[in-house]
């Protein structure tokens, strides 16, 4: 029995030119800016990144579908593209023609040095040197018009920074923002973390942090105060009450602030929340967040405490109606049962849209946060 095997070896197949298009964006994203990682004539491997498309929310990397050579760039660097826009042409299987370096030119023989000039006769006497003229003293008075300033550098704002600026200004112009404050005694949650952190890490392979306690407390408080989880529909002039809790967690990256979403937090326990935070944080650090990871969100938590913040007023992330600001844990003297004790304390701030949320609801919400974090047994008793 003879077996005949066929191999495709034609140059037409190997050097096929394909056009790579912009991948489809999520519904909330319409366009992005292209930043090229490769140039015409560059050789690329399969799945090697050719360009990055920066959108309002994240960056999308576009890889080469096969090994080959970049034939043509169809969009200039910094150009705007929509989903499906042709980006570049790739000649599959072609090898980059390495230009042979010209051989080094033979060195010309060194010219003989010119003969030294005949020595001049030394003068018998040096002419008198006049004393240096007195330099005028600088006038230290003036109007500063001749002051030399340090040079400045102008850098174009990237799309993400522009979008952040636009959304924050939109929040200031649209919402009636008001902030209320409270302080949280972190003694119990710190003790719980100290007692269980090793066992938690051994069982779940992730560290037990403080953020999961605040996310869980926020979900509990949002269920208790649904107005904080609601939003105003400015088109229909209606209040939309959400029966689910999707919490956005602000993460700082080198390119700007991103807010990936933990979905259906009301159904999650501490372990689920820690795993979700860990996974989203890892994707954010690697610049691998998809637009779908940041779509939606009914409430935001921002933790300035990781940078040493003591106090601050966060700005609402529209179209949400409130945001919780966490800050640093600092030991402070507090009154406990008539005695002064040193406790690890954290200031917390809730900024809310006063068009929708009343002061009573905002203060009650923040007190719920305080109660759960100070004593997680509140969750067991549903108090």
- Residue with structure tokens 């230290």? 140
Q: Residue 32: inside a domain, yes or no? A: yes
Q: From the DSSP assignment, how many helices (H) and strands (E) are in the chain?
A: 7, 18
At what angle are helices 359-374 and 211-224 packed, to 10 degrees? 140
CATH classification at residue 351: 3.30.559.10
186, 332: one domain: yes
299, 197: one domain: yes
Give the pLDDT of residue 100.
36
User: Which residues are CB-neighbours of 62 under 8 A, at least 6 positions away?
Assistant: 20, 22, 23, 49, 50, 51, 52, 53, 87
Give the pLDDT of residue 131.
55
Catalytic residue ranges: 354, 358
Of 257 and 8, the structure prediction assigns the larger pLDDT to 257
Q: Residues 49-68: what's their mean pLDDT?
A: 85
Of 59-73, 131-145, 179-193, 206-220, the one with minimum mean pLDDT is: 131-145
Give the pLDDT of residue 33.
87
197, 330: one domain: yes
Q: Residue 265: inside a domain, yes or no? A: yes
Q: Residue 196: inside a domain, yes or no? A: yes
Where does the pLDDT of residue 26 fall: very low under 50, low under 70, confident under 90, or very high at 90 and above?
low
User: Which residues are CB-neighbours of 264 under 8 A, at least 6 positions away?
Assistant: 244, 245, 246
358, 256: one domain: yes
- pLDDT above 90 covers a percentage of the chain that reads 51
pLDDT of 366 above 90: yes
80, 212: one domain: no
Domain boundary among 59, 92, 125: 92
Q: Residues 304-317: what's their mean pLDDT?
A: 91
Q: Residue 80: inside a domain, yes or no? A: yes
Q: What are phi and psi of 242, to 5 degrees?
A: -90, 135
Q: What is the DSSP letter of 194?
A: H
At what angle are helices 187-204 and 359-374 packed, to 10 degrees? 60
The alpha carbon dihedral of 159, 161, 165, 167 has a sign of positive
Q: Residues 301-314: what's their mean pLDDT?
A: 91
245, 337: one domain: yes
Give the domain range for residue 38. 11-92
Q: How many domains does the chain have?
A: 2
86, 181: one domain: no
Of 45 and 150, the structure prediction assigns the larger pLDDT to 45
Q: Residues 210-221: what's their mean pLDDT?
A: 94
Structure tokens at 101: 């370096």
How far, in Å, CA of 49 to CA of 61, rounded? 6
Structure tokens at 300: 């935001």
Distances (CA, A) of 325 to 181, 309, 313, 328: 9, 10, 7, 10
How far, in Å, CA of 281 to CA of 152, rounded? 34
pLDDT of 371 above 80: yes
Average pLDDT value for the chain:
82
Q: Residue 76: inside a domain, yes or no? A: yes
User: Which residues are CB-neighbours of 253 under 8 A, at least 6 positions away?
Assistant: 284, 285, 287
Where does the pLDDT of residue 27 fall: very low under 50, low under 70, confident under 90, or very high at 90 and above?
low
371, 263: one domain: yes
Domain boundary among 92, 124, 147: 92
Contact of 214 with 305, CB cutoff 8 Å:
no
Of 209-213, 217-221, 349-353, the one with minimum mean pLDDT is: 209-213
Where does the pLDDT of residue 101 fall: very low under 50, low under 70, confident under 90, or very high at 90 and above?
very low
Look at residue 339 and give its three-state secondary structure: strand
For the chain, what is the radius of gyration of the CA atoms? 33
- Residue with structure tokens 């040493």? 308
Q: Residue 134: inside a domain, yes or no? A: no
Q: Residue 170: inside a domain, yes or no? A: no
CATH classification at residue 40: 2.40.50.100
Contact of 362 with 186, CB cutoff 8 Å:
no
Q: Residue 156: inside a domain, yes or no? A: no
Tell me: cis bond preceding 161? Omega within 30 of 0 counts.
no
Where does the pLDDT of residue 9 fall: very low under 50, low under 70, confident under 90, or very high at 90 and above?
very low
Domain boundary among 92, 121, 156: 92
83, 183: one domain: no
């Amino acid at each position: 029995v003879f077996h005949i095997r066929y191999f495709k070896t034609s140059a037409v197949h190997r050097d096929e030119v394909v056009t790579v298009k912009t991948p489809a964006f999520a519904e909330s994203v319409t366009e992005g800016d292209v930043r090229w990682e490769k140039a015409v004539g560059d050789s690329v491997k399969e799945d090697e990144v050719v360009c990055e498309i920066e959108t309002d929310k994240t960056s999308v990397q576009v890889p080469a579908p096969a090994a080959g050579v970049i034939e043509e760039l169809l969009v200039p660097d910094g150009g705007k593209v929509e989903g499906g826009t042709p980006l570049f042409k790739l000649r599959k299987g072609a090898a980059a023609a390495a230009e042979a370096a010209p051989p080094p030119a033979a060195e010309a023989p060194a010219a003989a040095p010119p003969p030294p000039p005949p020595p001049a006769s030394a003068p018998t006497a040096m002419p008198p040197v006049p004393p240096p003229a007195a330099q005028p003293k600088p006038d230290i008075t003036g109007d500063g018009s001749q002051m030399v300033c340090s040079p400045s550098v102008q850098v174009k704002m990237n799309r993400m920074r522009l979008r952040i600026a636009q959304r924050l200004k939109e929040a200031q112009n649209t919402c009636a923002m008001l902030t209320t404050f409270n302080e949280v005694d972190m003694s119990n949650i710190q003790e719980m973390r100290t007692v269980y952190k090793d066992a938690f890490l051994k069982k779940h392979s992730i560290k037990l942090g403080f953020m999961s306690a605040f996310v869980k407390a926020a979900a509990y408080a949002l269920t208790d105060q649904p107005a904080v989880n609601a939003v105003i529909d400015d088109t229909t002039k209606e209040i939309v009450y959400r029966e689910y809790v999707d919490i956005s967690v602000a993460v700082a990256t080198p390119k700007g602030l991103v807010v990936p979403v933990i979905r259906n937090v009301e159904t999650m326990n501490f372990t689920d929340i820690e795993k979700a935070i860990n996974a989203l944080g890892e994707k954010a650090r690697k610049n691998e967040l998809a637009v779908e990871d940041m779509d939606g969100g009914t409430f935001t938590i921002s933790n300035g405490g990781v940078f040493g913040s003591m106090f601050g007023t966060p700005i609402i992330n529209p179209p949400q109606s409130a945001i919780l600001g966490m800050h640093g844990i600092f030991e402070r003297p507090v009154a406990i049962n008539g005695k002064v004790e040193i406790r690890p304390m954290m200031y917390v701030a809730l900024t809310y849209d006063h068009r929708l949320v009343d002061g009573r609801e905002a203060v009650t919400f923040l007190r719920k946060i305080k109660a759960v974090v100070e004593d997680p047994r509140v969750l067991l008793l549903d108090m």
